[in-house]
Structure 1
Amino acid sequence: MGDSHRVGIVGLGNISRAYLDTLARVPSVRITAVADLDRSRAEAVASALPEARAATVDELVASPDVDTVLNLTIPAAHADVALAAIAHDRDVYGEKPLAATLDEARAMTAAADASGVRLGCAPDTVLGTGTQTARAAIDGGRIGRPLAATAVMVTPGHERWHPNPDFYYRAGGGPLLDMGPYYVAALIHLLGPVRRVTGMSSRLRDERVITGGERAGERIRVEVATHVSGVLEHDGGALSTLTTSFDGTATTAAPIEVHGELGTLSVPDPNHFDGEVRLAPLDDAGTWHPLAPAAGYVDAARGVGLLDFLRADASRPARAGADVALHSLEVMTALLESAESGERAVLTTTVERPVPVPLVPAADWRR
C-alpha cells in the first residue's frame, strides 16, 4: 500500500473493538479519526489511539487525512454514512449487510461507480482458514461435483447478551440479515452465485425481553421474521438449504455441510475465521477425516477483509467487495420476499466467485 493508509472509523459499538485490536497491530494502517453518535465514546477511543481525533461524521468523511471510511454503524445507517463518504471521494468498507434494503445497496454501488471510489463490505470471516480450506478441497475435486449443501444457524436471540439489541428486531435486522451474511457469503465462496431462491419465514413472538445490562427486563418490539428457511439454487446446479433462527435454543447440526458425488465436507462456523474442516469420502463412508489448513489468512481476525480490500488492485479484486455483498443481500431479501409471496424468486444480480486466498501466514497479512 506504500505509505500508511489513513482510516477513519464511524460507529464505535461492540464490533469496533475487534477491528481496533486488529488494526493496531498493522503498521501499514493509521487510524486518524473516529466518530460516534456518543461524542464521549469517540473521545475515549481517540484518546487511546496515538494519531486519532474525535470528530463528527460530517467532519470525518470530509477530512483530508482520511483515505478510507470504515463504516461500523448499525445497518439502518450504513447507506447514509457510505453515501456521505462517497460524495467526498472516500473509499468505504463497511460491516454487513451492505445496507438495510436492496434499493439502498444499489444506490451505494451506483454512487461508488460514478465517483470512481471503491466499496467493500464484511463478512471477512470467510477469508480465514476454515472456509478457504473447505473451498480448496472442493476446487481440488475432493468431493467431486458438488450437489447440495446445508447451512444452519440457530440461537435463542441476541437480547440474551447484547445491551442494546433493538436493531436486531427492526428492518434490516432479524436472523437472516444479521447472521445470514456469513452463511450466504460462505456458500458463494464454496459453490458460486445463486440464480433463484424459495423462502419461508415465521415469528415466534412480538416482543423480546432484554436479560442483561442496565436495560435488563425491558421489553422491545419485534418487527421482522425471526425464523427464515430457504433453498438456494446455485448457477452450477447445486442446491443449498439455509436456516437462520432466533427462535431455537441450540442445534447439533453442522454450520455448513457440502455434499458431492465423492464425499461430504463439514465446514466450520462461517462466523469464525478458523475451525476444523472434515471430509467423509464416499469410499470410507461414515468416517470423518480432518483436513489440515491449506488456504486462507492464518490466525485472522475482524479487519483482515479491510486489509485485503486496501491491498486489492486491478490484477486482484477485493475478496470482500461490494459485488459479493450486493449479491448476498439480494439472496437474503429475495428469500424474505419469497416467504411473503409464496413464490420462487429469480435474482437480478450475480457475482464471480472471489479469488481464493492462498495460505497466508499471520506475519504476512499483518505487515
Structure 2
Amino acid sequence: DIIINLTIPAAHAEVSLAALEAGKHVHSEKPLGLTLEEGRKIIETAKARNLRAGCAPDTFLGAGLQTCRKLISDGWIGKPIAGTAFMMGHGPEAWHPNPAFFYQVGGGPMFDMGPYYMTALIHLLGPAKSVSAVTAKTFEERIATCEQHFGEKLPVEVSTHNSGTIVFQNGAIITVAISFDIWKHSHRPIELYGTEGSLQVPDPNTFGGPVRTYRPEQGGDWQDVNLLYHYAENSRSIGVADMAHAILSGRPHRCDASLAYHALEIMHAFDLSSQTGKTVELQSCCEQPKPFPLGMIKGILDD
C-alpha cells in the first residue's frame, strides 16, 4: 500500500513518518519536510523498514522535461555550461482562497515553487555542488486581495526574494531568481546554455512544452522541438504510479525521497548563504533520476 500525503507543509514529515511507522510506503506533497532533519528522518525510517518514500514534484516525468533530458543526453547543446531559472511573480494573495500559509515557515516562493525548479534542474543536470545567494523579505506583511480574505493583513515570516547561483557537479553554473516580489518580467522559466547550442525548457510546474533549441549552424531564431514522450497533459500523480510500478518490478522509483532531500538542501542553502555571506557547499547528493525510454507504452512505466 502507498499512502499519499497531501497535507500542509508543516505536517508533511509527521504524516509521512506515521505512514512509514505503520508499514506503508509513502509519497508526499512537496517539500519533503520543513527541515533537513525531518527529511533525513523520513529517509532513514523508510530504509530501516524496507519501505519506499517519495515526494513531489513529478512534473519532470512529463513529455516536456523528458524531451529536454533526451536532447541534453544526446549532446544537442553540447556540454551544459550555464543556465538561468526564473520564477517571479507577486505572490498568491490576489487569487488563492487561503494565502496566509504561503508566507509562513515552510512557504514562501522558494519552498512553494522552488521544488519544481530544483527538481527539474537535478533531472536535467544531475546533483548540485554549491549555492551562493542573497535573499530578502521585502515586506513585513502582505494584503490579501482574494475574495475570501479581502483586506486581511498577512504577516510574512520567510524570504520572498531569492537570488543566487547554483554550481552543479557537472560544472554547469545556473543563475536563479525565485520571487514573490516582482510585478512583471519577460524571462523564460529555464534556459540552458551549452558548448554547441542553447535549450529553452518549459515551465517545470507543467508537463508539456514548448521545448525550443538553438544551434549556430541553423541560424535565425529558436526552433520548436516536437515532444518525444507521452504525458504532455496534466499528469499529476504519475510519480505515485511510477512508485507502484517500481515496487512491483523491484527497480528504483524516480521521485525518490533522496532526490527531494537534495532539492530541499539546495533551497535551504539560499537563506544560509545569504545569512553567512558565504558559499554553501552541499552535503547531500542523489542519483540523477533515470529518464523514460523512448517508445514506452502509455500507462506502462517500467522499462
Fold match (TM-score > 0.5): yes
Q: How far, CA to CA, are the matches of 2:11 and 2:98 in structure 1? A: 16
Query: After superposition, where does 1:62-101 map in structure 2 within 5 Å?
Result: 67-101=1-35
Amino acid at match of 1:346: E
Q: Which residue among 343, 348, 358 is the counterpart of 2:278?
A: 343
1:125/1:232 Cα in 2 relative to 1: closer, same or farther (>3 Å)? same
**Equivalent residues of 1:298, 1:361 under 8 A apart:** no
> Aligned with 1:133: secondary structure?
helix
> Aligned with 1:244: secondary structure?
strand
**Equivalent residues of 1:298, 1:362 under 8 A apart:** no
In structure 1, the residue matched to 2:117 is: 183
In structure 2, the residue matched to 1:318 is: 253
Q: How far, CA to CA, are the matches of 2:250 and 2:54 in structure 1? A: 17
1:195: how far off?
A: 0.9
- Deviation per CA, 1:174-226: give whole Å up to 9, x if none: 11111010000110011110011111111221111111232211111001000
1:238: how far off?
A: 0.7
1:282: how far off?
A: 2.2
1:361: how far off?
A: 5.3
> Aligned with 2:78: secondary structure?
coil
- Give the gaps of 5 or more residues in structure 2: none
Q: Report the TM-score when normalising by structure 2.
A: 0.95
1:297: how far off?
A: 3.2
In structure 1, the residue matched to 2:158 is: 224
Q: How far, CA to CA, are the matches of 2:220 and 2:158 in structure 1? A: 40
1:296: how far off?
A: 5.3
Q: How far, CA to CA, are the matches of 1:112 and 1:249 in structure 2? A: 42
1:295: how far off?
A: 3.4
In structure 2, the residue matched to 1:357 is: 292
1:315: how far off?
A: 5.4
Amino acid at match of 1:199: A
* Count of residues in Structure 1 that have an aligned counterpart in Structure 2: 299
Q: Does 1:291 align with 2:222?
A: no
> Aligned with 1:262: secondary structure?
coil
**Identity over aligned pairs, percent:** 44
In structure 1, the residue matched to 2:200 is: 266
Query: After superposition, where does 1:206-245 map in structure 2 within 5 Å?
Result: 206-245=140-179
Q: How far, CA to CA, are the matches of 1:315 and 1:289 in structure 2? A: 40
1:315/1:258 Cα in 2 relative to 1: closer, same or farther (>3 Å)? farther
In structure 1, the residue matched to 2:267 is: 332
Amino acid at match of 2:238: V
Indicate the RMSD between aligned Cα atoms, in angstroms: 1.4
- Deviation per CA, 1:77-118: give whole Å up to 9, x if none: 001101111111111101111011111111111111111111
Q: Which residue among 74, 77, 81 is the counterpart of 1:140?
A: 74
> Aligned with 1:189: secondary structure?
helix
Amino acid at match of 1:137: L
> Aligned with 2:90: secondary structure?
coil
Amino acid at match of 2:144: I
Q: How far, CA to CA, are the matches of 2:289 and 2:35 in structure 1? A: 23
Amino acid at match of 1:330: E
**Equivalent residues of 2:86, 2:187 under 8 A apart:** yes
In structure 2, the residue matched to 1:120 is: 54
